[in-house]
Structure 1
Amino acid sequence: MSTDAEAVVLVGGKGVRLRPLTLSAPKPMLPTAGVPFLSHLLSRLRAIGVRHVVLGTSYKAEVFAEHFGDGSELGLDLEYVVEEEPLDTAGAIRNVADRLSAPDVLVFNGDILSGVDLGALLAAHRADAADVTLHLVRVDDPRRFGCVPTDADGRVTAFLEKTDDPPVDQINAGCYVFRREVIDAIPAGRPVSVERETFPGLLAGGSRVAGFVDSSYWLDMGTPAAFVRGSADLVRGVVPSAALPGEPGEALLLPGAEVAADAVARGGSTVGAGCTVEAGAHVDGSTLFDGARVGADAVVERSVLGAGAVVGPGAVLRDVVVGDGATIGAGCELLDGLRVWPGVELPPGGVRFSAD
């Protein structure tokens, strides 16, 4: 299967909301269900026949090329364009225009986990002869987002700011299909917002801006809680991914991971390479980066342990992030969004810590 469409993935953000995890790696490169998060999207592009993908990078740009290279191992042709100064979404798209040649270009925000049918999205764009097609996802609570209403013909009519009384439940899902000519028309060399400038300008000029509306799985992976949930959903197969290094199930154990016979790993947990989960420990809905260790009878729920992090015996962690190489002393209790920076050592002794 092949298509004459190309793809652009915007991966230049610093991932501030995910610190300390993103101190050592860009957000799209964080281990997510056993592989860098970006791998899941790249596998989906490969599946619909896209071969040429351009990554718009900035923060720790070298990490992407070091891992993925030219993309040949994935069956892709990958290129990298570094954004020297922040250009906003449309500006970042325009910044890679000279690497594109196909008539249609799929564009993605690199921190979204989605179950949208990309083949159907591209087909709808072409059938509508649209200038731009936006993936719009229906959400239960649209008050946290700007809304994007559409008319009876599926054309986008406006881009509305956040409000306590949104008129529709459709939001911009961070995935688009552009005609190449639209990308070329974006002003070059300066920041440009798709939602505040590009899309409203297209509407005002009479261009066809279409909405592809569905209720597929959609998650902004920008916070620790969302990151943990997204990884767990990938492991459990809630969001299918050809990049998952194993069969979907309650837990994904990577090579060299050891889970004691009477320990429990469940809820879509990932136990990274070389990790150890000792006797009586419970790991539930959590992500353990390579080399992490969970001591006997410890409890780790909905949390992330960075590479080489250590959780002492009997410790309890719920909804927390532990940075690379940090140590949580025996009997400690960490709760409610607490973040432990890399290398920090919390002493044993039953101390209770909370982000509140």
Structure 2
Amino acid sequence: MKAMILAAGLGTRLRPLTNTIPKPLLPVGGTPLIVWNLLLLKRHGFSQVVINLHHLGPMIEQALGTGSKFGIRIIYPHEPVLLGTGGGVKQAEPHFSGEPVLILNGDTLVELDLEALRDFHRARNAAATLVLREDPDAARWGLVEIGDQGQILRITGKGLMNSIPTASRMFAGIHILHPRLLRQVPKGVTSSIIGPYVGAIEREEPVFGYDLQGYWSDIGTAERYTQAERDVRAGLIRLEDRQPVEPHVPLK
């Protein structure tokens, strides 16, 4: 299975830092954020990673190169126009070879057993598996409602309207999808990946949620960036051994 890191965004909420440095290259604990994710992927057996580029993309490509120094191979699809999570994945589709792909957000710092996630996805023959988190502000992030077997029933109120959810979660921005879900996604058009997921749920294809218990932070604002630095200093997430921290550390 290949992996993809979404790294094309503008990082507007972190300006002026991101005026001259793309957000994936912002250092966390002295190491670029995207390198944390590359090392996580490598540790769990991923050897080929697709990284889409737009804002200050050449800086990311120059910093990471071919990926050989991380023991992986990196492929860089460029987006002349920012395409969003749906359009960006669609443009990269030829690199997936028709196989499921693991997708991570380039601005997320996470500790997660990716092999267990991959095994979960395969065991259920899922069309998609979304990594989810418990969060009291789940509705603000985008409410995901799941059933008693872990199947996702609705995302932001869209999906199987007659089903009764048993739990509420938020989407952590990490997911595995089968490229067949991209068939109706227009190429070269900005879109969200949530649309294909809602469509699959409405068709009653198997779309599952996988609960995240380890560290997670969306480094989308200056406050969360500062908190991530504090968390690294406190040892809540570590670069070297990448061991999970228990209990689950909520976003602050």
TM range (shorter): 0.7 to 0.9
Q: Which amino acid aligns with 2:134?
A: R
**Alignment TM-score, normalising by the size of structure 2:** 0.87
The structure 1 residue matched to 2:57, chosen from 54, 61, 71, is: 61
- Is 1:139 aligned with 2:139? no
Q: Which amino acid aligns with 2:63?
A: H
Are the equivalent residues in 2 in contact too, given 1:139–1:215 (CA < 8 A)? no
The structure 2 residue matched to 1:158, chosen from 144, 154, 158, is: 154
More strand by share: 1
Percent identity of equivalent pairs: 30
The structure 1 residue matched to 2:204, chosen from 206, 211, 215, is: 206
Q: Distance in 2 between matches of 1:183 and 1:48?
A: 26
Are the equivalent residues in 2 in contact too, given 1:44–1:242 (CA < 8 A)? no
Q: Distance in 2 between matches of 1:231 and 1:116?
A: 19
- Is 1:173 aligned with 2:169? no
Shift of 1:167: 8.4
Q: Which amino acid aligns with 1:215?
A: Q
Q: How does 1:1-356 map to 2 (within 5 A)?
A: 5-101=1-97, 103-160=99-156, 168-195=167-194, 197-242=195-240
Q: Distance in 2 between matches of 1:189 and 1:216?
A: 35
Unaligned runs of 5+ in 1: 245-356
More helix by share: 2
**Alignment TM-score, normalising by the size of structure 1:** 0.63
Question: Residue deviations 1:138-182, cap 9 Å, x none?
Answer: 113324221111111111000126xxxx98441011000012333
Q: Distance in 1 between matches of 2:114 and 2:233?
A: 21
Q: Distance in 1 between matches of 2:239 and 2:98?
A: 26
Q: Distance in 2 between matches of 1:127 and 1:55?
A: 27
Shift of 1:222: 0.6
Q: Which moved more, 1:60-69 or 1:81-90?
A: 81-90
Q: Secondary structure at the match of 1:96?
A: helix
Q: Distance in 2 between matches of 1:227 and 1:47?
A: 24
Q: Secondary structure at the match of 1:234?
A: helix
Are the equivalent residues in 2 in contact too, given 1:192–1:198 (CA < 8 A)? no
Aligned twin of 1:292: none
Q: Which has the higher contact order (CA 8 A, sep 6+)?
A: 2
Shift of 1:240: 2.6
Unaligned runs of 5+ in 2: 158-164, 243-252
Q: Which has the larger radius of gyration?
A: 1
Are the equivalent residues in 2 in contact too, given 1:35–1:243 (CA < 8 A)? no
Q: Distance in 2 between matches of 1:236 and 1:102?
A: 42
Q: Which amino acid aligns with 2:146?
A: T
